């Protein structure tokens, strides 16, 4: 999972990109980068660290120009290094300088890389963003394609998720895989700039009032000639006409104030909470306590449906990063305890429904239940707002291997015992499907192994 941003047509494009990246920091905290064009030169800066650390006012002043792209990274393809950070910049021999930032994962990465390496294209990283931009550069340089034609060719050959923004010195291109797996929205800011982002919360920060989805397999070109939208030009490529949005964007990844795939994220989470409550007829508890922050709205939905009080009994330290997106297990373990604390004297003798969005390795939830029981709760009923995660993701999320997923190691009852909860229930997949308006347009592969894009040869 990563976050992208693109700005066209504002003299402070670097400052606007930094604001957008800051709004998307939850999508990646390992590294960040930005490329800015002043019409003649594209300047690139990327470093390990958070947006506010890497893009200080001084550094932003060194990046003049009215066209920019930015990226916050959480590693999937390629380790957490500066080389693997985005954007990637390529000077073509035939003229255009290209900078690209992408969110997703290329399933047939090795196949395309082999194809390019056989043609003496060299790589500085293992990152799929570099693969995307070098493919386009090769087609432009060696085969005389214009950029739009090169992107169409890319869409025919690349399998996977890619919500992508590309700039030359004076144009911006936005394009997206035919399945629209990762979110990507765009619009016009009140200052006239055209803005594209992974999530609409970034557009809100930049005062974009009318937002639209980048169409599936669509290409949007923004230049001095205006905005040209090319809808799906490669229909034949698609296995079926359905889109395959990542359902986990609604469950966990996205900010609740974002809107994409036709849904308000917070409303989907409230519906999930209500569905969990419907499964608990007859369960008598004192409070619903969500694991903050991603489960807060599920907690609201549950409490409202059962007409019992919600309490924010667990407090999260926001200065510790997201547990799930810390790349090493040792760091992850320490973060859990540093990240959560309980309200003093709140849990003593109370019966609690504890809501969490998912169980992946089982590390986090075990420590949270332990914390609440130590604080005196008499019963903890654990409710999970998603089905059991049993399969890895190949479309932009660094889920563990199948063997590392706790749901593949032990039975549900053993997970309950290990977690320390008195009861444990997951949301069934059919109930999850009922929480979105177009359930056939979603990917549920990490729950049922039904991968919408072939994962062969990986």
Provide DSSP, 339-406. Answer: HEEE-TTTSTT-EEEEEES--SSSHHHHHHHHHHHHTT-SEEEEEESS----S---SS--PPPGGGSH
Between 10 and 108, name the residue whose CB sits nearer to ligand SF4: 108
Min dist. Cβ of residue 247 to ligand SF4 (A): 5
Q: How far apart are the C-alpha atoms of 56 and 221, rounded to whole Å?
A: 30
Q: Which residue has the tokens 């294209």?
A: 121
Question: Known catalytic residues?
Answer: 2
Q: Which residues bind ligand SF4 (CB under 6 A)?
A: 181, 246-248, 393, 395, 397, 443-446
Min dist. Cβ of residue 107 to ligand SF4 (A): 11
Structure tokens that stand for 44 in this block: 């690139």
CA 148 → CA 188, 218, 235, 250, distances in Å?
22, 11, 16, 31
Min dist. Cβ of residue 10 to ligand SF4 (A): 33
DSSP SS3 for 266: helix
Between 37 and 243, name the residue whose CB sits nearer to ligand SF4: 243
Q: How far apart are the C-alpha atoms of 101 and 268, rounded to whole Å?
A: 28
Instruction: List the one residue out of 241, 243, 233 whose CA is nearest residue 152.
Output: 233
Q: Which residues contact 177 (CB under 8 A, 6 or more apart)?
A: 104, 155, 158, 160, 161, 162, 163, 216, 217
Min dist. Cβ of residue 452 to ligand SF4 (A): 8
Q: Which residues, listed in sequence order, are joined to residue 188 by a DSSP beta bridge?
A: 194
Between 185 and 397, name the residue whose CB sits nearer to ligand SF4: 397
Between 139 and 182, name the residue whose CB sits nearer to ligand SF4: 182
Q: How far apart are the C-alpha atoms of 140 and 154, rounded to whole Å?
A: 12
Structure tokens that stand for 333 in this block: 């373990």
Between 109 and 347, name the residue whose CB sits nearer to ligand SF4: 109
Q: How far apart are the C-alpha atoms of 260 and 88, rounded to whole Å?
A: 26
Min dist. Cβ of residue 451 to ligand SF4 (A): 7
Q: How far apart are the C-alpha atoms of 411 and 34, rounded to whole Å?
A: 45
Between 196 and 443, name the residue whose CB sits nearer to ligand SF4: 443
Min dist. Cβ of residue 436 to ligand SF4 (A): 12
């Amino acid at each position: 999972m990563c976050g992208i941003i693109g700005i066209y047509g504002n003299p402070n494009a670097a400052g606007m990109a930094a604001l957008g990246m800051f709004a998307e920091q939850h999508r990646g905290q390992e590294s960040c980068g930005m490329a800015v064009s002043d019409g003649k030169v594209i300047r690139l800066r990327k470093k390990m660290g958070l947006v506010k650390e890497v893009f200080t006012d001084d550094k932003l002043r060194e990046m003049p120009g009215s066209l920019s792209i930015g990226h916050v990274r959480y590693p999937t393809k390629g380790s957490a290094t500066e080389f693997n950070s985005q954007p990637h910049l390529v000077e073509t021999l035939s003229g255009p300088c290209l900078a690209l930032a992408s969110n997703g994962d290329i399933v047939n990465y090795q196949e395309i890389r082999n194809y390019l390496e056989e043609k003496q294209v060299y790589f500085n990283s293992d990152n799929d963003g570099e693969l995307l931009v070098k493919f386009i550069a090769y087609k432009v340089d060696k085969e005389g394609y214009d950029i739009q034609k090169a992107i169409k060719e890319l869409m025919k050959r690349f399998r996977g998720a890619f919500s992508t923004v590309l700039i030359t010195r004076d144009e911006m291109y936005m394009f997206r895989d035919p399945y629209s797996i990762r979110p990507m929205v765009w619009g016009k800011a009140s200052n006239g700039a055209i803005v594209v982002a992974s999530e609409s919360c970034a557009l809100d920060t930049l005062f974009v009032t009318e937002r639209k989805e980048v169409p599936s397999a669509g290409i949007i070109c923004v230049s001095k000639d205006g905005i040209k939208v090319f809808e799906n030009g490669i229909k034949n490529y698609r296995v079926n006409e359905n889109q395959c949005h990542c359902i986990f964007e609604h469950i966990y990844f996205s900010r609740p104030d974002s809107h994409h795939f036709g849904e308000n994220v917070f409303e989907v989470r409230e519906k999930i909470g209500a569905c969990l409550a419907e499964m608990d007829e007859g369960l008598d508890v004192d409070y619903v306590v969500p694991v903050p922050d991603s489960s807060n709205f599920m907690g609201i939905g549950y409490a409202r449906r059962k007409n019992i009080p919600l309490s924010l009994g667990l407090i999260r330290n926001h200065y510790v990063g997201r547990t799930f997106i810390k790349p090493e297990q040792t760091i992850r373990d320490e973060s859990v305890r540093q990240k959560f604390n309980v309200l003093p004297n709140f849990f003593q003798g109370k019966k609690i429904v504890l809501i969490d969005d998912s169980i992946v390795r089982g590390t986090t939830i075990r420590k949270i239940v332990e914390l609440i029981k130590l604080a005196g709760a008499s019963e903890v009923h654990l409710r999970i707002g998603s089905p059991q995660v049993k399969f890895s993701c190949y479309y932009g999320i660094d889920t563990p291997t199948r063997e590392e997923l706790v749901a593949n190691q032990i039975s549900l009852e053993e997970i309950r015992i290990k977690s320390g909860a008195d009861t444990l229930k997951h949301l069934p997949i059919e109930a999850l499907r009922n929480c979105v308006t177009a359930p056939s347009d979603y990917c549920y592969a990490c729950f049922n192994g039904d991968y919408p894009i072939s994962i062969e040869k990986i």
